[in-house]
Structure formats: C-alpha cells, structure tokens
Amino acid sequence: MYQILSAEKLTENIYSFVVKAGRVASSCLPGQFVIVRSDENAERIPLTICDYDREKGTVTLVFQVVGAGTLKLSKLRKYEYIHDVVGPLGCASDLCSMSIDELKKKSIVFVAGGVGTAPVFPQVKWLSEHGIPCDVIMGAKTKDLLILEEDMKRYATNLYVTTDDGSYGREGLVTKVLEDLVNSEGKHYDHCVAIGPMIMMKFVCLTTKALSIKTIVSLNPIMVDGTGMCGACRVTVGNKIKFACVDGPEFDGHLVDFDEAMKRQNIYKTEEGRAYLKEKEGDTHHGGCSHCGGEH
C-alpha cells in the first residue's frame, strides 16, 4: 500500500498525486513510468513519473481521467492509499545516457502537448540541474487545460506557451510555434523531444524532419502488464517490432509508424480487436518478460 501525501486537481480532468514509494524514488530517472492499481480489483494503469524526491522517497504522478480506472483513481484523497505502485518501468530518457559535455553541445527544444507536459517536466528539470539550457514549447486547446506552467518556468531557459484558440500565450498549434521560432525568430535546434497525443507527435515529427532536427518521442499506447508480455503496446519503429513498455517509451520519432500505432490503438480497445491482432501478428504479438522490477 502506498500513501498519497498530496492530491491536487490541476484541470477539470487532470490530477497530480505525490505518493510515498521509496524504492521507485530511489532509482527512477526522467522518462520512466510506473503501473498502479487503486485497489486489488482495479485495472493496471501506466502513469508517468512527473517528478521524484529521493530524500523523501516520493514520486509525483500526473494523470488524466480517460476511463473507469483513472476515474476511480481520481477519487482517492490525501492520506488514502494506492494498492500497487510497480516500477520504475521502461527506459530512461536518452538524454540521461549522454555525457554532460555532449549535452552542452546540443541545442534542445521540448514540445509538450496537454498531459504530455508531465513527462516533459522531469527531463527539463534534470537538464537544468546539470546546467544544460533548453527551450520548451507547451500547448493546450485552451488556457484552462494548461498544466505545470509555473513549474516549467523555473527550469526552462525559455518557455513558449500556445493555445489552439488563442485564449492564452500564442495562438495556434505547437508545430506552428516551432516553425516560427526556427524560420522567423532565428532559433536553431538540433535535438527535439516531443511528448503529447499521438497525432500531435506525428505532426511534430513531420515538422522537425523538414527542419532537419533529430526528434525523440515518448509513445503512450495502451499498456497492460508493462513487461512486454501482453502485446498491447506493440509498435513499429524503423520497420522493426518494438514494445513501448520495455523498449521505450522513447523512440526516434522519424522512424515511428504513427499511422499504424494509432490504428492499432483503436483496434485493441475491443475484445474482438485484441483477438484479431493476436491472430494477425502471430509470434510478434508480444515480447518476452524483461526490464521489470520495483515496488511490489
């Protein structure tokens, strides 16, 4: 059982929990995630590690209510308990594997869309703590749907906020802001990290490919077990089969087959669809159990 030390409603349907999970906090890195169950009968929900405090043994989890499982989770209150927190899972951000000297040679921009701001935040904070500057483009449909703006301001070198309706910050999509910064405002980037809805990441990658900017995306397909066994998060990257939970969640965005990933995500939502994918994909439907561990 893992106690919720803080429970905050960030927007109409996005919540932030600070949870006591010492083993996760002691070893997690930006880019990784956990899988939680609100009670012993609840579904398994993958959640981004938005922040962590190794000394206090806490992790911050930010999630959006999109179904019954996350709705049940959102009803938990401060000092109540989450039944399971398993992690850290997945691979850390590729930035963490680079030397500080190598990172200092890069001009880095993050593109965050909606709740995708949560997995962007720990990477921006980590870079700042290591003296590495970076810019952040943060977008949402409206001002009311923006999250973590003040937190991001503390660590980003430059923060560019945009809303689809122009109700706050710049007006337009994150791709337009990126194009404007490079083509009209003299910015140069050689490394981009884009995290948000699948369709947003697809179009960011089309934009950065045209601008010759290497781009990493963090994929958020359906996950069930987090160990590669269920086949839910199967994706095609560079014509190779990968599983976001163990091989990712970060991948080279210019190699991801986004159209297949989005189509597969919709098919997987029904029992008939899952049976179809299992038959169609055969031995490549799931991977082996690896990279798992953490809180049990």
pLDDT confidence of residue 184: 95
Identify the band that residue 44 occupies on the pLDDT scale cut at 50, 70 and 90.
Answer: confident
Specify the pLDDT at position 106.
Answer: 94
DSSP 215: E
Q: Residue 202: CA atoms inside 13 Å, Cβ hemisphere, count?
A: 9
Residue 248's nearest CA partner among 228, 269, 277 is: 228
The answer to whether 41 and 223 are in contact (CB under 8 A) is no
Q: Do strands 191-195 and 108-113 pair parallel, antiparallel, or not at all (unpaired)?
A: parallel
Q: Where are the alpha helices (DSSP H) in 130-222?
A: 149-155, 174-183, 198-210
Complete domains list, the chain, with CATH: 2-89 (2.40.30.10), 94-218 (3.40.50.80), 234-284 (no CATH)
Residues 66-87 pLDDT 10s: 888 889 999 999 999 999 998 8
* Residues 227-272: tens digit of each pLDDT: 666 667 778 889 888 888 888 789 999 999 988 888 876 655 455 5
Mean pLDDT of the residues in the chain: 86
Least confident of 15-19, 81-85, 216-220, 267-271: 267-271
Task: Look at residue 220 in the predicted model and tell me its pLDDT.
Answer: 76
pLDDT for res 290 = 42
Angle at 14 between CA 13 and CA 16, to 5 degrees: 145
What is the average pLDDT across 138-151? 92
The CA–CA distances, whole Å, from 267 to 207, 264, 277, 287 equal 27, 5, 8, 19
Q: How would you label 273-293 residue by residue, b for 16+ Cβ within 10 Å and e otherwise?
A: ebeebeeeeeeebbbeeebbe
pLDDT in tens, 92-132: 999 999 999 999 999 999 999 989 999 999 999 999 999 99
